[in-house]
Amino acid sequence: MSNANHTPGPWSSSMWTDDVAGAVGWSIVCGDAGHLVPTNTFETDDEEEAEANARLIAAAPELLEALQAMLEQFNYSTVAGLVHDESMAIMKAREAIAKATGEQA
C-alpha cells in the first residue's frame, strides 16, 4: 500500500547499555528475524522519554499503513456516493502521509 522506500517492518525497539561509559540508549531495529538492521540509536538522560520515542519510531511503518488504509476507505466511501466534508483530521492525515513518504499532500 505504501510507496515509501523505507525498510519494511516489522520494526522493534530495544534498550542497550554501555557499562563502561555508563550510557543507556535505545535502538530501532527493522526487518524480520533473519535480517535485523539497526536504523537509529539515540541517548537521553530521560529513560522514560527515550523508551517512548523508540516505541513511536518502531510503530511508524504500521501507523503509516493504517493511516493510508483509512484514507483509502474514506476515498472509496466518497466514490460510493457518501458525502464527507474535508475535515481537519483528513487534511492532517494526508499531511502526515506526505511527510512520511516525501510526497506532496
**CB-CB contact of 84 with 78 (8 Å):** yes
* pLDDT score of 1: 47
* Residue of higher predicted confidence among 97 and 12: 97
* pLDDT score of 20: 76
Tell me the pLDDT band of 26, cut-offs 50, 70 and 90: confident
- pTM of the complete model beyond 0.85: no
Cell output for 99: 511527510
- The winner for highest mean pLDDT among 5-19, 27-41, 73-87 is 5-19
d(CA 74, CA 91): 12
Please check the confidence at residue 52 and state whether its pLDDT lies above 90.
no
For 53-92, the pLDDT digits (tens) are 888 888 988 999 999 999 888 776 665 555 556 678 888 8
User: Strand (E) positions, 1-105?
Assistant: 11-18, 23-30, 37-43
Which residues 6+ apart lie within 8 Å of 8 measured at CB? Answer: 30, 31, 61
